[in-house]
Chain A
Amino acid sequence: MHNRHLSNTSPLNHIGAEKTHDSAELHVSGKARYVDDIPQPSDTLFAYVGQSECASGEITSMNLDAVRAAEGVIDIITSEDIPGHLDIGPVFPGDPLLVDSKVSHFGQAIFAVLATSQRAARQAARLAKVEYKPQIPVLTITDAMNRSHFVRPRHRMQRGDAEKVITSAPILIEREFSIGGQEHFYLEGQVALAQPQDDDGVQVYTSTQHPTEVQKLVAEVLGISFNKVVIVTRRMGGGFGGKETQAAPWACIAALFAVRNNCAVKLRLARREDMSMTGKRHPFLARYRVACKENGELLGVEHSLAGNCGHSPDLSDAIVDRAMFHSDNAYFMPHAQVTGYRCKTHQVSHTAFRGFGGPKGIIAMESAMDDIARAVRCDPLDVRKTNLYGNDDRNLTHYDQQVRHFTVPEIIDRLEQTSNYRERRASCKAFNDSNPILKKGLALTPVKFGISFTVTHLNQAGALLLIYTDGSIHLNHGGTEMGQGLYTKVAQIVADVFGVSTDTIRISAAQTDKVPNTSPTAASSGTDLNGMAAFNAAQELKSRLKTFVSEHFSVGRKSIEFANNHVSVGDKIMTFAEVSQLAYMNRIQLSAAGYYKTPDIHYDRETASGRPFFYYANGAACTEMLVDTLTGETRCLRADILHDVGRSINPAIDKGQIEGGFIQGLGWLTSEELRWDDNGRLLSDSPATYKIPAISDTPPVFNVDLLENSPNAEATVFHSKAVGEPPLMLGISGWCAIRDAVAAIADYKISPDLDAPATPENIMRAIHALDSAA
């Protein structure tokens, strides 16, 4: 026992500290282990998959003799070799692990091969002789819409009578434009390493955002109980939604081979297969009819949002729903009718991607705002401001949730000042007047993004906290680390509760035998859910320790304080380690499981109304783009962002999410273009043909600030706000700025027909259409 006072040591302020990523030193030194880096058992064999070469049709014959005879081949499986479930669809059926007879997209897995090296397995997989009876594939949204070819039924959200308002409106704007999908391009591709256990179980190291679902699917494919499967995910080399459902097939195949051959099996997709076999952000076709007054104020809006879901439902119901939920973005729609279509095409099943449908709803509405501005000859920012939700009235969404604590007006006002929006608009116009070839565009657009899984039951999380007798803490929760800094933030939360330094806390892999039945780390909810679960576990343990200390030393609970790695008990001070040891000696349980479920949320999909979101995350970006009207090339000249993360647990990590999200969103809307050929084969299947932003795409002036003094009004963990997805949609300001630059050609009188992404080619098409119209 020491006789020091707590005030002698410097205080540990964890919440709001810019602590570096818990693995940063491991990252930079190459020591951070990803699944492919884990030292593998000496008996490890390597699996690979054979792909279909037809988008739609029946397999009439499959000759695998050459595969079997290839050097190094040990085993082959087809759909007939799967002991349990063949279908691994996450919500609805439709995703066979291996095709049984009917092929539904080009590049689909039709068999798998096991060999002595990855290269041998890949080489062998290409030797199959497969014949198909091909059918004409459905490859576009328009085609699917014309044939009512859907993976799930149409859904509608409605408020008032939009149709009536629109037919009698003073100003009516109609538009249809296509919005491209997006390849996740996580730097670490899909990978799994399966090790059979001695009790028919299997342990799988995998790179997934959803260990519990992988556990369930591996068990179902193998036909064994869930408790025999353990999934371990320490970190991912990026996820972005692409490892929510898409990580499961490779884990299932590796596990099946491992159990069949009683050896460790690794399956790692090479980049080309990763790109051609896993789902992407849904391409959308957006149509809207917007009625407004002469001042640009909305009267009624009709949105039709058709998502290209690919061949199976996957998560598409919720994704198209989220597009619909966000088709208001930040604006009040007095009358609204929002219809979502889930188009079935013979493409890979499109899936979760940061924003989860939201970006498509938002870009449609932002496009409409710019159209209105050009129609009523107003500055687009003024039209936006006119239509923002109010805090006291004009605050009901088209799904009946009240918008509360709406920070967008404040954010826009501040950003308008700090970005010099008005002066820069004038200088862009002056530049455009004097430059015939290059045109500048500027746009300031907000984001309002609903936080919570719209599938209510997913809004729960668990954590496991262990204190050892040396005072070190082992932290585990159901969230996965994909680079977003979740583990760092949760460690800060736990450290704050105990008043210990974060290096006291060991962060461990998400593991299905520690915390069961977890939700995916998705929907920006990682910290809200897992942080709160860990907080609850820590509070419980702390309370237990307090009770013990209080009784042991006969002091009141109020005189016990945990701070600076010490515990003060009345006038005594002990180290946290000493308290831990003492508690153990007195038979106090030093572990706790924490649990959290988001309160107050409910949604009735039948009536399409309720409160699906606990709260909204808000932000805005002002982006300036430069366009070459001879080639369609663009550059981002400057971006200013103000974003509301509530009370930030870690401002450095939050800013990292905002900067990265913005650039990822800008990439989606500029250089990233998915292309398929007429047979349904993905053409943009490598980084040579699919271009994510590179370093010089980062604007030379890039100001990112967090909204100050804005704690979340809802009772989230330390009143922080989710930050994972919302910033992606700040990139929409770049697309609007490009459209603004193109509109300059016709003196801002015509709203350009610009598809997303605004590739040089799509920009040239928009310019050409404008030239023809003007």
Chain B
Amino acid sequence: MISFYINSSLVEIDSSYGTQTVLEFLRENRGLTGTKEGCASGDCGACTVVVVEANSEGDLVYNAINSCITFVGALQGKHLVSVEHLAERDRLHPVQQAMVDCHGSQCGFCTPGFVMSMYSLYQLDKKPEHDEIDEYLAGNLCRCTGYKPIITAMHKACEDRTTAPQSNIDRESIKTQLEDLRCNTSEEKTTNNYLHPNSAAELAQLLATHTEARINAGSTDLALEYTQNLRSFETLIGVQHVPELQVLEDNTDHLRIGAAVTYSRSYDLIKTFFSELASMMLRLGSRQIRNQGTFGGNIANASPIGDTPPVLIALQSELILQSTNGTRSLPIEEFFIDYRKTALRQGEFIREIIVPKLRPAAHLKVYKVSKRLDDDISAVLMAAKITLENGLIKTVRIACGGMAATPKRARNCELAMTGKPLNAQTVAAAQIALDKDFQPIDDVRASAQYRLTVAKNLLTRLRLELTEPNAMTQVSQLA
């Protein structure tokens, strides 16, 4: 049995529904056709719904997600709000009314998704800055309006907040409903198709016995196998309720990040210690993706174009892996063996990531280059940790994504820089060394030539930013 709320109605369904998508369930089983399918790959946001859950402090969190790439099983214990639930009888929600008043819809097909993303931003109870609006709405594509009236509508809805009527979706009753779900479903936790382990030990046990099962963390990539390759899953193991995988800890010299911690949840902590990584994360997928996607998923997926692995490699992170045989730790760069091939053994999972903090005099630089600024997969991602001492490069670790079959360190480049002054001459030598480190490929995103040129040029950017702090080096500095 899977239990959750849709629009304040309790839904209790057989676990066999667990491996279909939330979008299919809403449209086909519940007749809630306000939520649209635009791409079924989490790229357009037309299917956006809001999932409400309580955080560790007991406060409600309103997360916009892509229902097209979320499995129904992952709704266990949560409260889903779809566009049909926002208006109270004939009275539109303030974000809906603002969209009407500002001419924010033309064809209207993307509109329900926008409204839901706007609704999630509206819950923050503040007047958002322009970049916050971009951040919350970058995962919603509109082909008609050029976005201007939507931005205006978001401002208007929040500015009018004092006079606008309160939302009909009563927070206290949602809290009660979520609490009821938590209490009533704690005993009956296992289902055949969608398993919900409650501890790392249980997860290890399930993986040992269900060798065919796939781990489902945020499903932002896994679900594409279902929606694009049309593959059906017999069994999924959801890891959201495993406390060890939800660890988020600031220790003296390192951070502990549980493998199932989402980007959104970890953002504030990461921003405190690794602001460059945090800035990059705002361009990693969209708000909807970051509300679901996890560090563990990004690593285990082992894509050569995953954005966090190069950064974690540059930062000398360690992975804690676990199975029924116990735990072991592994430097993250040893995790990636070949194209989509990892050091993960049968029955083993990533439990957490240990990220050492930067020492004084160490700098982290993270550069993501893609065709579009928002929600785009990198052509090249470069991360560099560099320690300067007396004008010389004491240590440097550089790793790239999009440049090889795996996220990979640029060891020749590092060698060319270590012990040298950070100047144009050193960078020129490092650029030549990059040819030995990487033989990238041509693909739909960029040519090998472009990738290599840009990777080299990013070393120039690195030098300028560390030696000429006033230099203008990135287009985002001005817009």
Contacts and interface: CB of A to CB of B under 8 A. Distances in A.
B476 A694 contact: no
Contact of A626 (B38, B96, B115, B478): B478
Given A27-B108, A30-B83, A634 B475 contact: yes
From B43, B107, B475, B478, residue with most partner A Cβ within 10 Å? B107
Nearest to B478: A626
B146 A238 contact: no
Given A694-B141, A695-B134, A696-B374, A26 B475 contact: no
A483 B44 contact: no
B473 interface: yes
A640 interface: no
B472 A636 contact: no
Contacts of B100: 20, 24-25, 28
A412 B151 CA distance: 28
A636 B146 CA distance: 13
Contacts of B373: 633, 635, 694, 696-697
Interface string A266-299: 0000111000000000000000000000000000
Nearest to B111: A27
Contacts of B201: none
B143 A631 contact: no
The 9 closest A-B pairs by CB, nearest first: A30-B34, A483-B107, A237-B109, A27-B108, A663-B146, A687-B43, A483-B106, A30-B83, A694-B374
Contacts of B145: 656, 659-660
A23 B34 CA distance: 14
B430 to A, nearest CB: 15
A68 interface: no
A28 B92 contact: yes
Contact of A483 (B86, B97, B144, B228): B144
9 contacts: A28-B111, A187-B142, A272-B228, A631-B369, A633-B475, A683-B444, A695-B151, A698-B147, A700-B130
B343 to A, nearest CB: 27
A185 B147 contact: no
B110 interface: yes
B230 A119 contact: yes
A719 B116 CA distance: 40
Contacts of A653: 103
B453 A21 contact: no
B98 to A, nearest CB: 9
A768 B452 CA distance: 14
Nearest to A240: B143
B444 A34 contact: no
Given A659-B145, A694-B374, A32 B471 contact: no
Interface in B16-55: 31-41, 43-44, 46
B105 A687 contact: no
Contact of B230 (A26, A126, A652, A675): A126
Interface string B459-470: 011001000000
Contact of A187 (B38, B99, B479): B38
Interface string A51-77: 000000000000000000000000000
B143 A238 contact: yes
A631 B478 contact: no
Interface string A629-672: 01111111100000000000000110110011111100000010
Interface in B32-81: 32-41, 43-44, 46
Given A23-B108, A187-B38, A187-B110, A698 B461 contact: no
A687 B371 contact: no
B46 A187 contact: yes
A122 B227 CA distance: 11
B333 interface: no
Nearest to B31: A39
B148 interface: yes
Contacts of B377: 688-689
Contacts of B477: 438
Given A30-B34, A188-B109, A630-B460, A271 B148 contact: no
Nearest to B283: A696
Given A675-B444, A697-B147, 10 more contacts: A27-B105, A34-B109, A238-B107, A659-B146, A660-B145, A664-B146, A687-B44, A695-B134, A696-B138, A764-B453
Contacts of A673: 371
A684 interface: yes
A237 B143 CA distance: 10
A189 to B, nearest CB: 8
B106 A656 contact: yes
A260 interface: no
From A485, A655, A694, A697, residue with most partner B Cβ within 10 Å? A694
Given A675-B444, A688-B43, A627 B475 contact: yes
A266 B87 CA distance: 30
B112 interface: yes
Contacts of B450: 632, 760-761, 764
Interface in B126-167: 130, 133-134, 137-138, 140-151
B478 A637 contact: yes
Interface residues of B, number: 86
B471 A437 contact: yes
Contacts of B387: none
A29 interface: yes
A691 B371 contact: yes
Contacts of A39: 31
B439 interface: no
B379 interface: yes
Interface in A611-636: 626-628, 630-636
Contacts of B473: 437-438, 628, 630
Interface in B335-377: 369, 371-377
Contacts of A129: none
A262 B308 CA distance: 54
Nearest to B473: A437
Contacts of A240: 143
B82 interface: yes
A82 to B, nearest CB: 27
A652 B82 CA distance: 29
Nearest to B444: A683
B454 A764 contact: yes
Interface in B302-353: none
A699 B143 CA distance: 16
Contacts of A33: 33
Contacts of A28: 83, 92, 96-97, 99-100, 104-105, 111-112, 115
Given A697-B372, A760-B379, A702 B34 contact: no
A686 B371 contact: no
B372 A656 contact: no
B272 interface: no
Given A635-B475, A637-B479, A659 B379 contact: no
Nearest to A666: B146
A29 B96 contact: yes
A188 to B, nearest CB: 4
A681 to B, nearest CB: 11
B84 interface: yes
Contacts of B369: 631, 633, 760
A158 interface: no
B101 interface: yes
A238 B141 CA distance: 12
B108 A32 contact: yes
B458 interface: yes
Nearest to B476: A635
A237 to B, nearest CB: 3
A236 interface: yes
Contacts of B108: 21, 23-24, 26-27, 32, 235, 237, 483
From A185, A237, A637, residue with most partner B Cβ within 10 Å? A237
B38 A271 contact: yes
From B228, B373, B457, B476, residue with most partner A Cβ within 10 Å? B373
A186 B107 contact: yes
A408 to B, nearest CB: 22
Contacts of A637: 478-479
